[in-house]
Structure 1
Amino acid sequence: MKTGRAALLIFLLLAACNGSGEVQVPREHSLAKSYLEDKGYRVLSYEGEVQSYELTKDVLKKLPGKIVWGLQSVDPDRYLGKMIRVQKFVVKGHPLSKGKVDVYVYENEGEPFGGTSFPQDQYGSAGSGWSLDGKTLEEVHSVSFPDWREAWQEKYGS
């Protein structure tokens, strides 16, 4: 009988945690988790897919798409007509805050390519947030906001 109780206790302990303390992420989004870890962030939780949409010029013309895509270091033209999936994670070790930071990883066909970040202690003042790496639009593109906006509107319209 003691062996049965011990086996039950071990089973319950294993069921309560995965043994490694690692955050569980669906297989199809494990590259996004690795993408964040490669940047030096500690993934605290996976919050799920929060959005999916086809990237069109119309998305790039309007807010918030214009600014969100302006925060990416990739050329949006590469993803026009493609499905974009946005996965939310909570991380620590991010340059924007010593606390928790919500990061939104952008994926196409399971491949992460960028995203946005919002420190949990600074919501409300962030507008469209920062790049995945905590940079402003001006820092991402090495240009002033008015110059960036003018070039963006010439390319995608207003």
Structure 2
Amino acid sequence: MRINYMFFLVIVVCTVLSGCSKEELTETGLVAKEYLDEKGYKILSYEKQVESYLLTESKLKQPPYDLQWSVAGNNPEPYFDKTVYVEKFIVKGHPLDNWESNGVKSKGKVYVHVFVVDGAVVGGISYPDIPARHGMVGAGYSLDGES
């Protein structure tokens, strides 16, 4: 009897832990995932939908939106007065995997924030995974690590 109880308890704990260990993809997260898959990036994890907001001209005058949308490849004008969903992933196989500057090296993976509007990827930012004490300044790089 005690063995059955312990077995049941182990199953419950494992189920709870596995259910909490990964975020479920949102609808816009799925759009972003498909985009990243098409680019050939290996998705290590889906972190979550970081935020959603209405994109306006006044919003673009505020940090961090002013910097994020100023990155090459992010043209905000067609998306004014629309909701932007920001989906965060950790990927490998990205141009920033081997980023290095002033003796600081990437840990071989990259954080990407994918901007989704009306069911399509419209931009985003990326930044290498580096030690916290060597924080980067600015908005990071374009979604594909080009700027």
* 1:26 aligns to 2:25 (yes or no): yes
Q: What residue in structure 2 maps to residue 100 of structure 1? A: 109
- Farther off after superposition, 104-113 or 70-79: 70-79
Q: Indicate the structure (1 or 2) with the bigger Cα radius of gyration.
A: 1
Shift of 1:89: 0.3
Instruction: Tell me the distance in 2 between the aligned counterparts of 1:53 and 1:27.
Output: 15
Report if the CA contact (8 A) 1:44-1:91 is conserved: yes
Percent identity for Structure 1 against Structure 2: 43
Alignment of 1:51-130 (within 5 A): 51-98=51-98, 99-121=108-130, 124-130=135-141
- Provide the TM-score with structure 1 as the length reference: 0.66
1:137-156 equivalence runs, <5 A: none
**Retained in 1: the 8 A contact 2:25–2:46?**
no
- 1:25 Cα offset (Å): 5.0
Mapped to 1, the partners of 2:34 and 2:24 lie a distance apart of 10
Would the alpha carbon gap of residues 54 and 96 (structure 1) be closer, same or farther in structure 2, given more than 3 Å must change? same
Which has the larger share of strand?
2
Gaps of 5+ in 1: 1-14, 18-22, 137-158
**Corresponding position of 1:38:** 38
**Deviation, structure 1 residue 97:** 1.6
Question: What SS does structure 2 have at the residue aligned with 1:63?
Answer: coil
Higher helix share: 1
Please list every run of 5 or more consecutive structure 2 residues that lacks an aligned counterpart in the other structure. 1-14, 99-107
Q: For 1:49 and 1:27, locate their aligned partners in 2 and report how far apart those are by CA, in whole Å.
A: 7
Q: Which residue identity is paired with 1:129? A: G
Q: Deviations over 1:35-93 (max 9, x none)?
A: 01111110011011111110011122233212210115243110000010100000001
Structure 1: distance between partners of 2:26 and 2:61: 33
Instruction: Return the offset for 1:26.
Output: 2.3
Deviation at 1:127, TM superposition (A): 2.1
Q: Which runs of 4+ in 1 moved over 4 A?
A: none
Q: How much does 1:128 deviate?
A: 1.1
Is the 2:111–2:129 Cα contact (8 Å) retained in structure 1? yes
Q: What RMSD in Å do the two structures reach over aligned CA positions?
A: 2.5
